[in-house]
Amino acid sequence: MPERYGPRVIEHLVNPRNAGEVSGPSGVGEAGNAACGDQVRFTLAVGEDLRLEEVRYRAYGCAACIAAGSALAELVEGRTIIGAARVSRGELQEALGGPLPPGKEHGVTLALDALHRAFEDYWSRQGDALLAGDGFGDGSGGRRGVVAAMSGGVDSAVTALLLKERGYEVVAVTFRLHDGEPGSRSCCSPDTVLFARETAHQMGIPHFTLNLRELFDRRVMRDFVGSYAAGRTPNPCVACNAHVKFHAAAFLADRLGLRHVATGHYARVGEGPCLERPEDGRKDQTYVLWPVPRELLGRTIFPLGDYRKDEVRRMAEERGLAVARTPESQDICFIPDGDYRSFVRRRVRSEPGEIVDRRGRVLGRHAGVVNFTVGQRRGLGVSASTPLYVTEVRPESRQVVVGSRRELEVREVLVRSANWFLDPREAALVQVRYNSEPVPCEVERGGDGWEVRLLEPVFGVAPGQSAVFYTRDGTKVVGGGIIARRDAA
């Protein structure tokens, strides 16, 4: 046996703990690569009280992987699943007598990753209610604890830190939403999941990963592609908040017996409950939060609503968090290159058609309606003496209608799928794009939705966008919905 390994490592190699397989396991996780020879596998039996009743491991490859698997299995057996999810790299290294020799540190990483993949598998086996869309309660019977969504960025890390400092029992969760590329900083890449876990453990917070690929594909990505194919302009962040992230956090909180959920969004929860704009108006994210169900909003905490972005970064630096200077996240997490048209074209067949003006006069041809959205000016493929904009997309006839900027003016919209926090009669302002200013409006119930009259003309409103309503002083979100129809001025 090489002398560079310490006595505890050698003890685990000579007398391995908990080697083998759990029969009928609650969760199974593997990490490593059989091609290079280093691989660790964990199987778990989780009791009704969420205690790890039995933990077994198998490891193949170098001595470091075998010893790390043995030490970790011994460490976590008998703990609650929350306690086991808190075990950090440092604690495992201590159980091995200190850091492993240079070039062998990966043994600790693989063992921890295999254990956490077993936790991930355990939660996935309980996910039928979540996939059905009804996987959360009101949290009334839970402990004073919170499941905090953690993406690997500074905002979510400081969110978890602030909650812990306020005395909450905090459990961090990272969502695996799509197949992020290894080495990328997409919110779902393998490296980002590991980084989020390391950040949580640095703060002494347990961490879980939930595999939500199927739910995200069903409720966000298919909607995104289908909307463009149908001539609508979707907002995937809205769809994700409506159907995925908040529901998943509440799903985990309910199963851990915790009362609250939290995210790093810049917003506040007011009485009612209702959404309120944050301290930092430049980071205001209330526009994409309107579809959060009212009963779920009532158990949600937004710690960053009282801070400005520069204060958040400063807090991270002062507390020594590695995420302090991470860059801002991209708008569409599953399209890292930003080319959403190519993303859609790869997933839906789009036939060529005509580019026409509002009188039906043919001005040119196009390769497919998925390449166009209302308000678009560039890439039309036709020339004119004055600038032309897309004013309408007609997928049924495969026509793209173009016109002047004046033809983009909208005075009325029909809103459907509304979610109200306050009485709709309090709606005095409406915002129709993430970065646009709200305009005065009047709202009344229509036969199949809500008729909204804009008291000032708005340019480039597209079906599929969100309309979010605010109180007269602009501070509270009354509710929101999806624009189904637009009427020109």
Catalytic residue among 65, 187, 333, 441: 333
Q: Cα–Cα distance between 281 and 267 in angstroms, integer? A: 9
Q: 175 labelled as ligand-binding?
A: yes
Q: Cα–Cα distance between 62 and 51 in angstroms, integer? A: 30
Instruction: Say whether 240 is catalytic.
Output: yes
Entry field: residues in the chain: 489
| H/E run at residue 261 | strand 258-262
Q: Cα–Cα distance between 94 and 100 in angstroms, integer? A: 10
Q: 320 labelled as ligand-binding?
A: no
Instruction: Say whether 62 is catalytic.
Output: no
Q: 149 labelled as ligand-binding?
A: yes
User: How does strand 38-46 pair with strand 52-60?
Assistant: antiparallel
Full strand arrangement of the beta sheet holding 52-60: 27-33, 38-46, 52-60
Q: Cα–Cα distance between 88 and 92 in angstroms, integer? A: 6
C-alpha radius of gyration, the chain, whole number: 26
Residue pair 455/442 in contact by the 8 Å Cβ criterion: yes
Q: Cα–Cα distance between 231 and 397 in angstroms, integer? A: 11
Q: Cα–Cα distance between 428 and 430 in angstroms, integer? A: 7
Q: 153 labelled as ligand-binding?
A: yes
Q: Strands, E, within 76-168: which ranges?
A: 143-149
Instruction: Estimate the crossing angle of helix 222-229 against helix 236-243, to 10 degrees.
Output: 140
Q: 151 labelled as ligand-binding?
A: yes
Q: Cα–Cα distance between 325 and 145 in angstroms, integer? A: 28
- In one-letter notation, the amino acid at residue 373 is T
Residue pair 215/230 in contact by the 8 Å Cβ criterion: no
Q: 343 labelled as ligand-binding?
A: no
Cis ω on the peptide bond leading into residue 278 (within 30° of 0)? Answer: no
Q: 413 labelled as ligand-binding?
A: no
DSSP string for residues in 23-35: SS-SEEEEEEETT
Residue pair 431/476 in contact by the 8 Å Cβ criterion: no
Closest CA to 325 of 467, 449, 154: 154
Q: Which two tokens stand for residue 398?
A: 């495969």
**Dihedral of CA 181/182/183/186: which sign?**
positive
User: How does strand 38-46 pair with strand 439-445?
Assistant: unpaired
Catalytic residue among 65, 187, 240, 274: 240
Closest CA to 108 of 62, 161, 55, 172: 62
- Report helix, strand or coil for 181: coil
Residue 222, CA distances (Å) to 100, 227, 240, 386 in order:
45, 8, 12, 37
Q: 24 labelled as ligand-binding?
A: no
Binding-site residue set for ATP = 149-156, 175, 264
Binding-site residue set = 149-156, 175, 264
- The set of catalytic residues is 240, 333
